[in-house]
Amino acid sequence: MSISESPANRPGLFITFEGGDGAGKSTQAAKLTEALEADGRKVVRTREPGGTAVGEQLRSLVLEHGNGEIDARTEALIFAASRAAHVAQVIRPAVERGDIVVCDRFIDSSVAYQGSGRSLGTGDVRQLNVWATEGFSPDLTVLLDVDPEQGRLRRTANQAAEDRLESEPDTFHLRIRRAFLEQARTDPSRYLVLDARQPVDELAEAILARVKELLP
């Protein structure tokens, strides 16, 4: 039995961007959105955690420093709760209307960060999230692969303060990188894996070319 809803039967498209912190996901998600809108497509651009009123509150709770200790299981459940609301209220309705949803992070981030980074187990974390989303799965996942040191350099170049997860040591981020690559290896038809060090415009071109293959 397949645990995921078949993307092929849906009117719209669901595209996710994944990768370590500082990989450039937001830049590429913005560029893809711009290109698709210029082509006359209706795009819903969103991000996780967040994307709904309850999700944005959960985002502050889990990412900001100063909310006291958050143990790994609680953290995993907060991300999954935010995702459940996001799929039910935003993503699924948009895809069913025929829109293209471009989402910064999805289940694969929980599998990498909580499953592997926090050592909760990738299988359990995936199962929790399949339940939370009723198996709603992306048509395409773009993985921008970045080595943790490079990611940290890029983040500090932007001078943004590091959130709770970003401020974990490089060994944590190394486990996350490996977990993303492993997910791509086991589900190759859903993934486009790109080296995040490539020039921004080259990455954008490669992503758009792949998305065009999926457009009706």
Q: Which residues bind ligand TYD (CB under 6 A)?
A: 21, 47-49, 63, 79, 104-105, 109-110, 113-114, 163, 165-166
Minimum CB distance to ligand TYD, residue 88 (Å): 16
The residues with which 192 forms a beta bridge, in sequence order, are 142
Cβ-based nearer residue to ligand TYD, 6 or 67: 67
Nearer to ligand TYD, 46 or 139 (CB): 46
β-pair type (191-195, 100-104):
unpaired
Considering the complex, state which of residue 40 and residue 68 has its C-beta at the smaller distance from ligand TYD. 68
Other C-beta atoms closer than 10 Å to the C-beta of 170 total: 13
Cα separation values, 142 from 76, 128, 131, 180, Å: 22, 22, 23, 11
Token representation of residue 153: 């350099």
Q: Please check whether residue 95 is in contact with residue 43, taking contact to mean a CB–CB distance below 8 angstroms.
A: no
Cα four-point dihedral sign 89, 94, 95, 97: positive
Closest C-alpha among 14, 15, 11 to residue 96: 11
Among residues 47 and 190, whose Cβ is nearest to ligand TYD? Answer: 47
Quote helix, strand, coil % in the chain, to nearest 5. 55, 15, 30
Residue 6: CB minimum distance to ligand TYD, A? 23
In the numeric block, the tokens 């859903």 are attached to 190
The nearer residue to ligand TYD, 35 or 63, going by C-beta atoms, is 63
C-beta closer to ligand TYD: residue 12 or 115: 115
| Beta carbon of residue 120, minimum distance to ligand TYD (angstroms, whole number) | 11
Q: In whole angstroms, how close is the CB of 151 to ligand TYD at the nearest point? A: 10
Q: How far is the CB of 77 from ligand TYD (least distance, A)?
A: 11
* Closest residue to bound ligand TYD by CB: 113
d(Cα 18, Cα 106) in Å, to the nearest integer? 7
**Residue 209 CB, nearest distance to ligand TYD (Å)?**
24
